[in-house]
Amino acid sequence: MKVKKSAFTFLISYLLTAITGFLGVVILFRIKSLIRFSLLLYHSNFWSWRFIELASSFVLGFVLLGLVIYSQHAYEKSYEKNQLPRKFVSITLIEMILLFMCQVFGMTIGIIELNTLSITQVLAMAAVCVALVAFYVMKYKQKSKS
């Protein structure tokens, strides 16, 4: 029975890690496009532009790799402690806030056009963040009452 539990633990942790990694890749591309647009906006030198773009890709790639490795380990350990939903929500909440900030910043500097679709996306991301915060607070209060 222990073998099935550990196999299930690995399956769940890898599945949730894939979701976390997917959100991380979306954030990575959003940040890269914001950096690229900012460099074009400020008319920097081509060589410095290329270096900044490559260095930011390198750093963001390592941050994403670290996030994926950490989240897989954290999901596996939190499953054993029956805290998996709470851990997943906390990591996903951080990612959704970053995605929300990228969207708002992109709309602010003009990389994302202000239209009904973009405003709806921002409102949907805000609603997801609020729902995740509410879930996290409810789980935290249940844990503190127990």
Q: Token pair 């969207």 is at which residue?
A: 103
120-139 pLDDT tens trace: 988 999 999 899 888 888 87
Q: What is the mean pLDDT of residues 72-89?
A: 87
Separation between Cα atoms, residue 24 and residue 59, nearest integer Å: 13
Three-class SS of the chain: CHHHHHHHHHHHHHHHHHHHHHHHHHHHHHHHHHHHHHHHHCCCCHHHHHHHHHHHHHHHHHHHHHHHHHHHHHHHHHHHCCCHHHHHHHHHHHHHHHHHHHHHHHHHHCCCCCCHHHHHHHHHHHHHHHHHHHHHHHHHHHHHHC
pLDDT of residue 8: 80
Tokens at 136, concatenated: 């996290």
* Digit-coded pLDDT (tens) for 58-79: 999 999 999 999 999 999 888 8
What's the chain's average pLDDT?
85
Dist. CA 92–CA 98, nearest whole Å: 10
- Whole-prediction pTM: 0.81
Residue 45 has pLDDT above 70, yes or no: yes
Q: Is the pLDDT of residue 3 over 60?
A: no
